[in-house]
Amino acid sequence: MRLSVIIACLNGADTIGIQLEALANQQWSEPWEVIFADNGSRDGTVTIVEQYRHKLPNLRIVDASDQPGKAHAGNVAMSAASGEAFAFCDADDEVAPGWVAAMGEALAEYDFVGGAMDYLKLNQPKRVKHQVGGIKQAEHPPFLPFCGGCNFGFNRSVYQAIGGFDESFLFGEDTEYCWRAQLAGSKLQFVPNAVVHYRHRNTLAASYRQARNWSESYVLLRKKYGGSLSRLMMLKLLLGGWRHMPLCLVRIRSWEDLVEFAWQFGWKIGEMRGCIKQLTLPGLKPLGLLHHWDSRAVPLSKL
């Protein structure tokens, strides 16, 4: 079986070399390729990737700069890929030895898989709450498991059945795909030996932005898959949790604590942004991209 490893990236010059070096050291008996989809990098990322052509003979670079978003870049990569299955990893992480073989062998048996996450190697010990991670479970509709797009994969048959990533999601497209695939009949299988070393955000601004973006997209995911959010539920999301923020602030004793506070603050701001976008005036269309989330139904055939 031929496997296509896909990296969708925007401005990853600081870390992409580590990931490509890790991929260059992978070994698997079956044929595989690396598709790098550039989403409009301006920091020299593509120049660095070009330098790995001799180490990764089956490396291809595709231009996905015409539209912003990881979902769009991933779709461009899949349309260019020749593999019977796709395995996704990120430019700022590092696949562990044996990752390609583990993903390839798993995808020869299952149609949809998620790997394990190691948080120790690339992060300060004080930032690591859990040493390992993997598949998570949603505690609200559709009550289905999900995993990060930095370590998951699926067969071309899944892609042909439900399409690519929903490009209206600038963030959270991986969770949305996990749920849509399962609702269409695929089972998400955990592959513990497919390990990715995950890199946390270590600056205040980056930690804040990541939490804000994830949180905002999560409100929209709940809207799409759980029906319309009631005004009472949105009010709880808007107001809930803020009482803990002053306590978190006074407990700051280190830089790691400050980064964690930035994350928690960003998460609450993201919830507010997501809820405010839902609380539009009667008779008016939702703002921005929200028309994509108006329907209660899950459009399995869309895209």
SS3 content of the chain, % helix, strand, coil (to 5): 40, 15, 40
User: Residue 126 gets which letter from DSSP?
Assistant: G
Report the alpha-carbon angle 35-88-214, nearest 5.
Answer: 125
Residue 283's domain comprises 204-293
Domain boundary residue, one of 175, 197, 219 = 197
pLDDT at position 196: 97
Please report whether residue 301 resides in a domain: no
Give 43-46's long-range contacts (Cβ < 8 A, gap of 24+).
Answer: 43/11, 43/12, 43/13, 43/14, 44/13, 45/9, 45/10, 45/11, 45/12, 45/13, 45/16, 45/91
Same domain assignment for residues 192 and 45: yes
Which tokens sit at 128? 């690591």
Task: Say if residue 297 is exposed, middle or buried (CB neighbours under 10 Å; 0-12, 13-18, 19+).
Answer: exposed
pLDDT at position 21: 98
> Phi and psi (nearest 5°) for 186?
-85, 145
| Per-residue pLDDT in tens (0 to 9) along the chain, 303 residues | 799 999 999 999 999 999 999 999 999 999 999 999 999 999 999 999 999 999 999 999 999 999 999 999 999 999 999 999 999 999 999 999 999 999 999 999 999 999 999 998 998 776 666 566 789 998 888 999 999 999 999 999 999 999 999 998 889 999 999 999 999 999 999 999 999 999 988 788 988 998 998 888 888 888 888 765 666 666 666 666 666 777 677 777 777 778 888 888 888 888 888 877 766 534 333 333 333 222 222 222 222
pLDDT at position 234: 65
Same domain assignment for residues 208 and 67: no
Task: Find, among 164, 162, 178, the residue nearest to 78 by Cα.
Answer: 164
Please report whether residue 302 resides in a domain: no
Task: Find, among 249, 269, 250, 270, the residue nearest to 261 by Cα.
Answer: 249
pLDDT at position 235: 65
pLDDT at position 193: 97
State how many domains the chain has: 2
